[in-house]
Amino acid sequence: QRAASEVLVALGRRFVNRVMEELLGKFQPGILPHFFVLHTLADLAAANVFGMVPFLSSILGPMLPMLGMAKQEHMKCAFCYGESR
């Protein structure tokens, strides 16, 4: 999963729209995403800051209700990782 995440981040440096199209499909409101979806979004935001700006509302809007749903420690860490990147 880490390797797949790194590949998506590498591709997202050049093709951010295509990568975000796929990632946002896994980022549904009301459903906690997989741990590595959050990690990939955070790493991609750090790798391609300006490319991620158009997607901020698509990410942050659904993320706010998800914060209360994160009960497991690894999911809390994933959300914090995204905030720290």
pLDDT per position as a tens digit, 15-71: 999 999 999 988 888 888 988 999 999 999 999 999 999 999 999 888 888 888 888
CA 51 to chain centre: 13
pTM of the model: 0.86
> Tokens 């009960």 belong to which residue?
71
Number of domains in the chain: 1
Q: Domain limits at 72?
A: 1-83
Instruction: Check the CA dihedral 55-59-60-62 and report its sign.
Output: positive
